[in-house]
Amino acid sequence: MATAIKKPLTAAQFKKKVLQHLNFTSSQTDYQQDPTAVLRAVCLTVNEVVYEKLTETNQYHKEHKSRSINYLSLEYLMGRMLSNNLHNLDLFDVAQKAVANLGFEIEDIFEEGHDLALGNGGLGRLAACFLDSLATMDFNAVGYGIHYEHGLFKQQFHQGRQIETPDEWREYGNPWEVCRPEAVQNIPLFGHVETIANTDGSVKKVWHSGQTIKGVPWDVPIVGYNSKTVNVLRLWESRASSHFDWEQFNSGDYQDAHSAQNHAETISKVLYPNDETDAGKELRFIQQYFFCACSVKDIIKRYSQQHGNDWSQFADKVAIQLNDTHPTIAILELMRTLIDEYDFAWLDAFAMCRKVFAYTNHTLLPEALEKWSVDLFNKVLPRHLELLFSINEYFLNEEVSKMWPGNDQMRRRLSLIEEGETQMVRMAHLCVVTSFKVNGVAQIHSDLVKSDLFPEFDQLYPEKLTNVTNGVTPRRWLKACNPELSKLLDSKVKVDWAKDLSSLSSVAKFADDEKFQQKFMAIKHNNKIKLAEEILASTGVEVSPDAIFDVQIKRLHEYKRQHLSFMHILALYRRLLADPDYDMHPRVYIFGAKAAPGYYLAKEIIYAINKVADKVNNDDRIKGKLKVVFMPNYRVTLAEKIIPAADVSEQISTAGKEASGTGNMKLALNGAVTIGTLDGANVEIAEEVGDDNIFIFGNTVDDIKALEANGYNPYDYYNNDEEIKACLDWLHTDYFTPGKPGELSAIAHSLLDGGDPYRLLADFADYAKANIALDKAYKDKARWARMAIINTAKMGKFTSDRSIQDYVDNIWKLTPMSSQG
């Protein structure tokens, strides 16, 4: 297992198979003009290798009855699959040659592919990185999610404003998925619960559902890198349990004959485009239950195929990870199944759930901690609500009251039900009570989970709360996206760094080597030239690759503070207008971000950045020293182009708000130097690269708490800092929006009268100072090259392989294929 896997095909064989698929699978002989057909044929060729490995993987785990991890996530941000699969199968060169022989550049073929954008941001991308690592490390894992018809919306700008259009990622099919009719599930919803008295005095509960939805699984193979494993991501599509009303259709009522079908299909129609906030819709609740119920049934089915009706080994063979609270209902579904369908005693079922589930918390933002109304629960899942109440009763009486006797306040605080005008179910509490481990996603975040979010739970269950710092797959985020840098690293590192990222630390010894510095920075320069072309094509703005490429790419959210960088851009622009010789190295600010469609201020920030960009980019007075571009439709594929070209990585969230971040890791891995706050994984990045190789600024978590304790007043900064005042006042004028004064006022309002909820003004001066230090460092070419190299060399900790190993050792307790004999 540990040895390198033999190349499965030669270039000649690969080409032959592509031609065969063009001829016999799609009857497309005229392929020279049709790169889409070539893409499809290439994918089908790759799939031949993939499915053979998938069969072997399945057989192995069946024979060995391996313990599995079942990753439940409402989001997977997979991006494109072809390049990644080719790299992981060691077929990249082979495919490149074969495709060149057919008259195409492999990159042009990649461009024909669609992103699988079934996620919003960090959480969904993390899930994708974890699947890659699990397969690479030969663990038995299944990812479960929803087969959304429309993934994350496409973003365009119209006169600077975000416009959303639907994502049609599989309008004409997706070569990477296969439907599995043999694994369809039927999912009940609504209805009522009947209580039947047994002759022995006990009662049996029977849920009579009001509707049944069909869950149809689509499997996307997940190919490990240089490993034996191909796992699957199983995505559930909702369909009506019967097609349509045939009689109604025949009687001419065409519309209504389809209504049940339309209703059922709505469940998997769209990904909710909110990042970290609860959409609060019944449909979202049903989505969650639908995919959890399908997945739990599937997990039980897979287990039963190996162990029949013997439940004694279930908890030894099955672990279920809840990716945030979105899949929490899986807990209640397993409880219900064990009790109602397999006659488990309540306590045994509860004990089983406590051995099987583990939960990852991804945010402290209160608005993102999901709560569902008891009424909604009762309407959609009446039986589950009963079970929830019974868990709550047990928990409060047997655990809370025993730990804190007579403490009603504590019972209220910890209860799974929040009392108030409307009773709400606290999903995170249910997770903590019922999971055997709960983890945060970076050390500082996990510490805050313990100290600020769940301190009482930490007292109650001392070993339960833990940390697993996030990571990213170096296969996609270095090897595939930055081929030139990868080659340079190959030449210096003797082991396969893509599988052992800590081996890159050996490159640190070349950080002062002039020749190596030149090569490293020449690669960065080439990547910047390519990105400059992309920027010109997508925004019409010409930028110089000699400028500093300063990158902020992530979802748009106030806590991430894109508007801090925006304010600083205004400040630089002012300085340049006041003094065109103002000493700064030319800088290009590159933004990429989608705003949730209903998030007003986030959209105003996009608009403001675009408007200021229009002005700045066309102002000859500043001699091209400052450029601002907002690249539309930020997604995985665009990130793969931006990250290798970044000089500076902006990680400037308010301390305590960004749970971890993963873009920070990807950018540093590709030699970008971070300017950031002591937040999320920035703290650990700083520890790894050392203070000399990162620009840390701003208030710490404790400072922010102190500021708040003293009564934070944004006007203190406005009145005492001439630059802040001038920049905020500028936004009320029509300088950037001729004839329309006040069009950019929303940001100023939120920072002043709105109370500056993310303490931007408190960090502004220090951020500006850190930027001066950064500018100075960049002007010193050798110093900057050293910093960039050290960043790449010291990112070993942040491979998702390390995260997965932490989960395996401390939470999941899995054994890889190779060690099972």
238 or 325: CB nearest ligand CBF: 325
Residue 121 binds ligand CBF (CB under 6 A): yes
DSSP string, 589-607: EEEE----TT-HHHHHHHH
Q: How many residues bind ligand CBF (CB under 6 A)?
A: 15
The letter for the amino acid at 275 is D
Length of the chain as a residue count: 821
Q: Which of 43, 69, 106, 123 binds ligand CBF (CB under 6 A)?
A: 123
Which residues within the stretch 396-425 sit at the binding site for ligand CBF (CB under 6 A)? none
Asked whether position 550 contacts ligand CBF by CB under 6 A, the answer is no
583 token code pair: 């000493």
Residue 270's beta-bridge partner residues? 150
Q: Return the DSSP state at 231.
A: E
CB closer to ligand CBF, 276 vs 558: 276
- Catalytic hit among 362, 371, 587, 797: 362
Contact between 276 and ligand CBF per CB under 6 A: yes
Q: Is 278 in the site for ligand CBF (CB under 6 A)?
A: no
Is residue 602 a contact residue for ligand CBF (CB under 6 A)? no
Catalytic (active site) residue 379? no
Query: Is the Cβ of residue 288 or residue 415 nearer to ligand CBF in the bound state?
Result: 288
Catalytic annotation, pick one of 87, 464, 666, 759: 666
Piece of the chain touching ligand CBF by CB under 6 A; list 11-19, 121-129, 735-743, 751-759: 121-129
Residue 637 tokens read as 């594929």
Q: Which stretch binds ligand CBF (CB under 6 A): 43-51, 122-130, 214-222, 711-719?
A: 122-130
Residue from 82, 89, 81 nearest 136 by CA? 89
CB-based contacts of 406, cutoff 8 Å, min separation 6: none
**680 binds ligand CBF, rule: CB under 6 A:** yes
Catalytic residue among 336, 475, 560, 611: 560
Q: Using the minimum distance from each CB to ligand CBF, give the nearer residue, 660 or 677.
A: 660
Specify whether the CB–CB gap between 381 and 332 falls below 8 A: yes
| 130/395 with CB nearer ligand CBF | 130
Amino acid residing at 490? D
Query: In the complex, what is the shortest distance from the CB of residue 121 to ligand CBF, in angstroms, rounded to a whole number?
Result: 5
CA distances from 278 to 189, 328, 371, 517, 556 (A): 21, 14, 8, 47, 16
Exposed / middle / buried, residue 411 (Cβ in 10 Å: 0-12, 13-18, 19+): middle
Residue 481 or 659 with smaller CB distance to ligand CBF: 659
Q: Is residue 766 packed enough to be buried (19+ CB in 10 Å), middle (13-18) or exposed (0-12)?
A: middle
Name the residue whose CB lies closest to ligand CBF: 122
- Give yes or no for residue 470 binding ligand CBF (CB under 6 A): yes
The structure tokens listed for 273 are: 């485009």
CB of 805 to ligand CBF, least distance (A): 17
Residues in region 608-667 near ligand CBF by CB under 6 A: 658-662
Which residues in the 289-348 window bind ligand CBF by CB under 6 A? none
Write the burial class of residue 692 (CB in 10 Å: 0-12 exposed, 13-18 middle, 19+ buried): exposed
Structural element, H or E, at residue 194: strand 192-197
* Residue 530 CB neighbour total at 10 angstroms: 13
Q: How far is the CB of 636 from ligand CBF (least distance, A)?
A: 14
Based on the shown chain and the rule CB under 6 A, indicate whether residue 122 belongs to the binding site for ligand CBF: yes
Shortest distance in whole angstroms from residue 273 CB to ligand CBF: 13
Judge whether 551 and 642 are in contact, CB under 8 Å. yes
For ligand CBF, which stretch binds (CB under 6 A), given 118-126, 387-395, 489-497, 618-626?
Answer: 118-126
Count the Cβ atoms, other than its own, within 10 Å of residue 592. Answer: 23
Q: Is 122 helix (H, G, I), strand (E, B) or coil?
A: helix
By CB under 6 A, residue 467 contacts ligand CBF: no
Hey, what are 121's tokens? Answer: 């941001």
DSSP 8-class letter at 226: T
Residue 471 makes contact with ligand CBF by CB under 6 A:
no
**Shortest Å, Cβ 324 to ligand CBF:** 7
Distances from the Cα of 462 to the Cαs of 436, 457, 459, in angstroms? 11, 8, 5
Q: Which is nearer to ligand CBF, 17 or 657 (CB)?
A: 657
Q: Which residues bind ligand CBF (CB under 6 A)?
A: 121-123, 126, 276, 362-363, 441, 470, 658-662, 680
Residues labelled catalytic: 362, 554-555, 560, 662, 666
